[in-house]
Structure 1
Amino acid sequence: MRYITTLIIVLFLASNAKAQAPEGESWDKNISGKEHPNIQWFKDAKFGLFIHWGLYSAAAGEWQGKNNYGISEWLMNTARIPAKDYATLANNFNPVGFNAAQWVKQAQGFGVKYMVVTAKHHEGFAMFKSNVSDFNIVDGSPYHKDPMKALSTEAHKAGLRFGFYYSQFVDWHEPNGGRNNWDFDETKKDYQAYYRTKAIPQLKELLKNYGPLDIIWFDQAGGMTPQQTQALIDSARKLQPGTLLSSRIGNGLGDFKDFGDGEVPALPVKGAWEALFTHNDSWGYTKFDHNFKTSAEIVHLLATVASKGGNLILNVGPDGNGKFPEFSVRYLTEVGNWLKINGASIYGSTYGLIAPQPWGVSTAKPGKLFLHVFNKPTNGQIVVPNISDHIISAYRLDNHRPLTFVKKGTDILINAAAMPANADAVIVVNYKGKIKDAGPNAPTIVSYQYPQYNIEAAYTNTFGKASAKAIVSSNYHGDWKHNTCITAMATPADSANFKMRVTEPGDYKISLEYACDEKSKGQEGTLTVLGKDYNFLTLRTSADYDTHKPGLFIKHTIAIASIKKPGTYSISIKPYTSATELFKLKTIVIEPVK
């Protein structure tokens, strides 16, 4: 009875508002600040599997003989397909190759700890039996079975955490659903009628009919006030109090934070959060998208995300027959094999206490540091800064063989010459006491042991109006890229200061990696190192900055600095005169001259 009362409140509030949905609402990264009592499993999981599967999987990126490049689950939008025409895809959607037990077994072989699958994406087609709308796989396709029921049953049987993705606002099939403006007039829509008659009742079906759900993963929030969103959350809690709700439920009220598609935060973030990536470029299956991340690339991404304190949820797009792509199975199985040996460095870990180094990144557990060595130095010595007073021992995680080390000042130098140069060789360091977080101001260690060193924009001090912020771009529609850059440097007072700690004297080439549009080209800037100014002119990389176009960066060599003795040095960048923004500075690249 209490649930019914709460649901009535949701519907009453919904019927008395006609809120528009600005695009800025879509990716809500804010959370409630009240930690859910069931959140610990999520923090410890670190690796999840996302599955985008729907009618778009059968279309595979093609409509009426034409390939539509970009994320395939947005095919209806990008090709501006009328709702009644798009719905005909269901007439032939018959994924007889789907095997729920096989999906779950494969997921466990990938090493993931939870699975989230699309129950309804923006196309409006429910991949489950729904009594709310017959536009669903059981009633509206020749398949006539509920794959979500089978999948939830198998996941629960195997002990795999399980949840649903549900697009609560965007629904291109419905006249009152969000953001179909090619069939329906957006200004005349009654979003609340859509919530009242479809979204809320379908969410209720998912929460009541599919056993315990660990996650409801919302997307593209809109059309609800904070009060309406909170009432929706309260009603969901009545049915399943243990279910975690993603931040994209909107209005800053989720249980865990989801960053933008394809985004990793520049610095460690405390609390529960996810970075979400897809295995190739599209989230839904596309027959012509073969840009799959290799197992090594996935391992690096997983370790990098874990080193910043979060989870990686990696998407796979099954085809219209219900089969995972061959490369997804092969490469993710290889990741799973790596995790069988090195999982202790990922599962249950926290963000790294050591800033990213030329050799890789770190994760941590009480009394242990895990060094993820992506790149072996020429001399085989892994330099770990600022822990010499704390180290007890070091060993390889793959075979537990001890590694020798020496202390040098506040550093330790671990002899890793015998370790394989594979995707991610993990070293375990046992330590005592408390290691202070490195923070964003830790200098980048530079020597002759690597061909190149990158000092990222996040690891800088800015002055004046200069600031570091994420710059978004895309190669195709929905293929989002995120780069942290120093922006708003328009006067000599707007500057950025980078630190490098040089351990081997010598000559070092200094280059700037930046994006510069038409209005910023040809401006004069100044790079200062060792007390000497080096002036340069900015070079054009694109006509203008546009989030829906590729982000083009140039590597512009500015100077060669002769470092006479080891020490910490500063590199400063600023405009020479006042004008428009100098550029968007992504990285300082340091290369030893041999």
Structure 2
Amino acid sequence: DLATAVRDRNLKFGLYHSLFEWYNPLMLADSQTGFVTNNFVVNKVLPEMIELVQNYSPEIIWSDGDWHKNYTYWKSTEFLAWLYNESPVKDTVVVNDRWGKGVECNHGDFYTCVDRYNPKVLQNHKWENAMTLDKESWGYRRYNSITDIMTTAELLKTLTETISCGGNILINMGPTHDGRIDLIFQERLFDLGNWLSVNGKAIYKSTPWKYQNDRATGYVWYTSKKSTVFAISLEWPKNNTLRLGYAVELFENKRPIVTMLGNSEKLKWSIGNSYRNKIVSIQFPDKATVACDWAWVLQIENPTSVHVQDIDEIP
């Protein structure tokens, strides 16, 4: 039912699978031999994973719980060989990198490396930031406190840093015992959805720009899409003026159109110097007119070659 519901919404269906099982008798028996035997894997893990693939045809397999032993104990190469060569999803499936000690960040269609992996620099391999809204747990905790939960601003900061550096973000929240999502998590998701309804253009189908984090203003991160660059500001700038370093090259001898997503007003800008480095200063609109909170996106588009002095500058 879940797989059908997901696909009915035009979404890709993925499966999470934990290799390790703390209290399985077969697992405990293997541990008593120092894992010389792997009856748990042969009789439980492999048949189960093959059955899951054959029954549900997942587009993603997210393996976990591999830290205890290396890939030979888990027979990961045997399973992956079957998956990529014989399974019903051999031409479409992708997998992560948690298939045995030492495999993380080295092998896989995409890397997750460690929980909450956020390198904040561009990577040379597809990667994912698997994080959780409860900073202390991946499951539901009845006695968590408000300070344990990521704020909306923290969530958007993590999203922005991840997407700017070419990563995918996996946002986890633990459901209650009867399958409900706690209200605090619902609120965070609604906030995120509302923000994306205004600023999704800078996130969905975007690609990293040549620079990720601005050199002049550290709370600004960049994404791009064709001839458009997006500057995502995680704070409202002092005096309503955002100072950018790396973006100067988009303005020198060009006439870009600068707007804030959710606001049609064309923003004024000027080029100056700060500590011997050129910067561009962009005047934000009146805060009362903006369409969102927490983070604001400048869209810099359609630059054409003209002299800088022809531009309407900030007085």
Does TM-score exceed 0.5, indicating one fold?
A: yes
What's the counterpart of residue 411 of structure 1?
Answer: 279
SS in 1 for 2:7: helix
What's the counterpart of residue 136 of structure 1?
Answer: none
**1:209 maps to which of 28, 41, 55:** 55
CA distance in 1, matches of 2:246, 2:119: 24
Report the alpha carbon displacement of residue 279 of structure 1 after superposing the two structures with TM: 1.0
1:256 aligns with 2:110: yes
Check conservation: 1:191, 1:223, Cα contact below 8 A.
Answer: no
1:332–1:346 distance in 2 versus 1, CA, 3 Å = same
1:344–1:206 distance in 2 versus 1, CA, 3 Å = same
1:422 aligns with 2:309: no
Offset from partner CA, 1:349-381 (integer Å, 9 cap, x none): 223425242442222222222111121222222
Query: Letter of the aligned partner of 1:162 in structure 2?
Result: F
**1:382 maps to which of 235, 242, 267:** 242
Check conservation: 1:374, 1:422, Cα contact below 8 A.
Answer: no
Offset from partner CA, 1:174-197 (integer Å, 9 cap, x none): 2342xx5xx875444455221111
Offset from partner CA, 1:321-346 (integer Å, 9 cap, x none): 11111111122111111111111111
What's the counterpart of residue 334 of structure 1?
Answer: 191
What's the counterpart of residue 155 of structure 1?
Answer: 6
Report the alpha carbon displacement of residue 388 of structure 1 after superposing the two structures with TM: 3.2
1:186–1:359 distance in 2 versus 1, CA, 3 Å = same
What's the counterpart of residue 124 of structure 1?
Answer: none
Offset from partner CA, 1:297-330 (integer Å, 9 cap, x none): 2112111111221111010111111111111112
Query: Letter of the aligned partner of 2:25 in structure 1?
Result: P
1:398–1:259 distance in 2 versus 1, CA, 3 Å = farther
1:161–1:279 distance in 2 versus 1, CA, 3 Å = same
1:224–1:259 distance in 2 versus 1, CA, 3 Å = closer
SS in 1 for 2:113: strand
CA distance in 1, matches of 2:281, 2:38: 62
| Counterparts of residues 39-438 of structure 1 (less than 5 Å) | 150-168=1-19, 170-177=20-27, 185-210=31-56, 212-221=57-66, 222-225=69-72, 228-237=75-84, 238-239=86-87, 240-241=89-90, 242-250=92-100, 251=103, 252-280=106-134, 281-290=136-145, 291-352=148-209, 353-356=211-214, 357-391=217-251, 392-408=256-272, 410-419=278-287, 420=290, 422-430=293-301, 432=303
Report the alpha carbon displacement of residue 158 of structure 1 after superposing the two structures with TM: 1.1
CA distance in 1, matches of 2:44, 2:31: 19
Check conservation: 2:97, 2:111, Cα contact below 8 A.
Answer: yes
Offset from partner CA, 1:447-474 (integer Å, 9 cap, x none): xxxxxxxxxxxxxxxxxxxxxxxxxxxx
Alignment root-mean-square deviation, CA:
2.4
Report the alpha carbon displacement of residue 198 of structure 1 after superposing the two structures with TM: 0.6
1:202–1:159 distance in 2 versus 1, CA, 3 Å = same
1:348–1:270 distance in 2 versus 1, CA, 3 Å = farther
Report the alpha carbon displacement of residue 243 of structure 1 after superposing the two structures with TM: 1.1
What's the counterpart of residue 312 of structure 2?
Answer: none
SS in 2 for 1:161: coil
Check conservation: 1:369, 1:429, Cα contact below 8 A.
Answer: yes
Check conservation: 2:15, 2:62, Cα contact below 8 A.
Answer: yes
CA distance in 1, matches of 2:181, 2:63: 23
Larger-Rg structure: 1
Report the alpha carbon displacement of residue 295 of structure 1 after superposing the two structures with TM: 2.2
Report the alpha carbon displacement of residue 227 of structure 1 after superposing the two structures with TM: 11
Query: Letter of the aligned partner of 1:167 in structure 2?
Result: S
What's the counterpart of residue 309 of structure 2?
Answer: none
TM-score relative to the length of structure 1: 0.44
Which one has the bigger helix percentage?
2
Query: Letter of the aligned partner of 2:264 in structure 1?
Result: H
1:226–1:200 distance in 2 versus 1, CA, 3 Å = closer
Report the alpha carbon displacement of residue 223 of structure 1 after superposing the two structures with TM: 4.1
1:417–1:378 distance in 2 versus 1, CA, 3 Å = farther
CA distance in 1, matches of 2:131, 2:153: 15
SS in 2 for 1:337: helix
Report the alpha carbon displacement of residue 406 of structure 1 after superposing the two structures with TM: 1.3
Query: Letter of the aligned partner of 2:294 in structure 1?
Result: A
1:188–1:304 distance in 2 versus 1, CA, 3 Å = closer
Indicate the percent of aligned positions where both proteins have the same amino acid: 24
Offset from partner CA, 1:422-454 (integer Å, 9 cap, x none): 301111112659xxxxxxxxxxxxxxxxxxxxx
SS in 2 for 1:362: strand
1:166–1:285 distance in 2 versus 1, CA, 3 Å = same
Check conservation: 1:176, 1:191, Cα contact below 8 A.
Answer: no
SS in 2 for 1:164: strand
Which residues of structure 1 form unaligned runs of 5+? 1-149, 434-594
What's the counterpart of residue 313 of structure 2?
Answer: none
SS in 1 for 2:119: coil
Query: Letter of the aligned partner of 1:416 in structure 2?
Result: F
Report the alpha carbon displacement of residue 402 of structure 1 after superposing the two structures with TM: 1.4
Query: Letter of the aligned partner of 1:398 in structure 2?
Result: G
Query: Letter of the aligned partner of 2:154 in structure 1?
Result: E
SS in 2 for 1:329: helix
